[in-house]
Amino acid sequence: MKSIQKLLIFIFLPLFFSCTDDFEPEFDLETTLDYRINTSQQNNGPAKVSTSASVPIYSQKSLIIQYVTGLSEADKVEFRNRHTPQGGIMNVKTCHCTEQDIERWTFSGNIQIEPKKQTIEDDPLGNGKLRAVNRDFYFATDFGPKSGSGSASYDSHIKYGNSGVTIAILDTGFDPTFSVFDDDFGNPIEMLYDATHMGMAVGEETSGWNFVDDNDNTFDDNLGKHGTAISYLFHEILSSGSDPTPYQILPLKVFDKYGNGNFFSFLCASRYAFERADVVQMSFGWLEGEFEEDDDNIFLNLVDDFSDVLVVTSAGNSDPYGDPNNNDFIGHYPSSYDRNKIVAVAATNSDKTNIASFSNYGGYSVDFFALGEDIEFYNADGSPLEHDLDGTSFAAPQVAAMGAIIKADLPSDSPLITLLNMLILSGESIDDDYYEDYDVEKPVKYNKLINTVIE
C-alpha cells in the first residue's frame, strides 16, 4: 500500500551500476556488489539475515516485451521480424504461462540497447500490439550458503483437487524431504498445489514451475533452504489451532542455488502466480535502478490486470555494513512499487518491542511489522537449527498468512479492498519505542504489528 507521493532521491545510485554483456553469470556475492553472506551460518540452514537487496545489473543485449493480451502469433512474428537487426539474430524466450504475452528478446552482434528499446517503443506499426518494453537485469540475494543440488518427488505432498486459499511463493523452491511437512505419524502432509490438471499441457506439471531451468522440478537446491523455510511458516500458521485454514502452496522457483535471479524470470513467475493464486509471497528485492520504469512497467501491468490477488513483499534488510534503508528515499523493489495491493513488511525484534536492528522501514512505502528475529526452524530430520531465522523474509509470510486466513473467511466475490481493510484492523498498534532510534515520523505506514502463532 503505497503513497502516491514520490519523495525526491538525492543519492545518485547510477554511480554504483555495472553492466554485463554475458547475461547468464553465476555471481560470487562475496565480491560482486560486496553483498556478503553471513559465513557464521555456513551449512546450518537459512542465512541469519536474508533479502539484502542488490543493485540491478542491466543486460546490454536483452529486452522484455509485453504484447497486448490475446495478440495472435502471426502478429507477434511480424512484430519480431520487423525489429530483428539486419544481419543479426534475435533469440526469443517466452514465459511458461497460460497467456503468452511476455517474452525476452536477446540480440546478437553489435547493438545499443537503449536506442533499440526506444525504436521498438516508437514503432507506429506497434500501436495496438505492444504494451510495454523493459530492460532485463540480474539481481543477487544473500539467501545463505551458495551451493546445493538434488531433486525429490512431490507426489505425496500434492493436495489433489485443490481447496481453500492458494498461496504462490516466488523463491528458491521447496524441499519436500523436510520432516516438518510430515504429520505426527511420519506421513506426508498434502499441502502443495495440484497442477496436474491446470498445467500448460497434460502431464507437463505436477505442482509449481522452475523458471530457472524451465521445468517442473521446483526442488530447493539452495543450502540455505530459503524457500523451504518460508513454506514452513505458512504451513505452521495456517494449519494451527482447532480451526485450520484450508490452503495449498504453489512453489515457484525463481532463484538458482546461488540466490541469483533476473527480471524476466520474476515477471514470468509473477504472471504464472497471478493466473492461479489468491496470495503471492515475494521475500526478496533489489534497489532502485537506473531504468526503473514506474509508468511503463510490465510487473505493474500484471498487478493491475489481476486486481484481486494479494501481493506481500519483504521490505528488505540492512546492507552488509549494518545500515537499514529508508525505502521512502531509495526504493526497494518489488516492495516499493506504488500499488495498494502490494503490501510491504518490516521486521520486529524477538520480543516485538521494537523494530529489528537490520530491518528496512518507511512511513510511506512500508505497511506493517511482523516478527522477524529468532524464529525457529529445523533441519531436514526435524532437529532444531543451531541458528534461528532472522530477516524481513520471514516477517512477510506471517502477514501473507494472515491475509490468507482473512481471505478464506470472506465471500468469494469480496473485493481485495475488503481484505486489505480487515488486515489493517487485525493489527496491533505499536508504541513510540519503535520510533526512538529513527528520525522519522513513523517507521511503517499503518503503525501496526501483525501477530501470528510464530514465536
Angle between helices 113-121 and 73-83 (to 10 degrees): 140
In a domain, 133, yes or no: no
Report whether 253 contacts 218 (CB < 8 A): yes
What pLDDT score was predicted for residue 430? 87
What pLDDT score was predicted for residue 295? 67
- Give the three cell numbers for residue 129: 500490439
Number of domains in the chain: 1
What pLDDT score was predicted for residue 228? 96
Long-range contacts formed by 79-86: CB under 8 A, 24+ apart: 79/123, 79/125, 79/126, 79/129, 79/130, 80/105, 82/123, 82/125, 83/116, 83/119, 83/120, 83/123, 85/109, 85/111
Please state the pTM of the whole predicted model. Answer: 0.87
User: Is there a cis peptide before residue 244, judged by omega within 30 degrees of 0?
Assistant: no
| Calpha distance 259→269 (Å, rounded) | 16
Distance of CA 56 to the CA centre of its chain: 15
CA geometry: angle at 302 spanning 8 and 105, to 5°? 90
379-to-43, 184, 386, 387 alpha-carbon distances in Å? 10, 16, 9, 11
Closest CA to 265 of 276, 275, 256: 256
What pLDDT score was predicted for residue 203? 56
Report whether 174 contacts 231 (CB < 8 A): yes
In a domain, 63, yes or no: no
- Give the three cell numbers for residue 125: 506499426
In a domain, 17, yes or no: no
| Calpha distance 250→208 (Å, rounded) | 5
**CATH number, domain containing residue 429:** 3.40.50.200
In a domain, 80, yes or no: no
* Parent domain of 422: 146-449
What pLDDT score was predicted for residue 364? 94
| Calpha distance 207→197 (Å, rounded) | 10
Q: Is the dihedral of CA 410, 413, 418, 420 positive or negative?
A: positive
In a domain, 4, yes or no: no
| Calpha distance 337→451 (Å, rounded) | 25
pLDDT averaged per 10 residues in sequence order, the chain, 455 residues: 41 30 35 27 36 78 95 95 86 92 93 93 91 93 62 86 95 95 94 80 78 93 92 96 93 93 97 96 90 78 96 89 86 94 96 92 96 94 89 97 97 95 96 72 92 91
In a domain, 44, yes or no: no
- Give the three cell numbers for residue 348: 520486529
Report whether 105 contacts 63 (CB < 8 A): yes
In a domain, 26, yes or no: no
Closest CA to 287 of 52, 62, 60, 114: 52
Stated as kind and residue range, the H or E segment containing 230 is helix 226-238
What pLDDT score was predicted for residue 109? 81
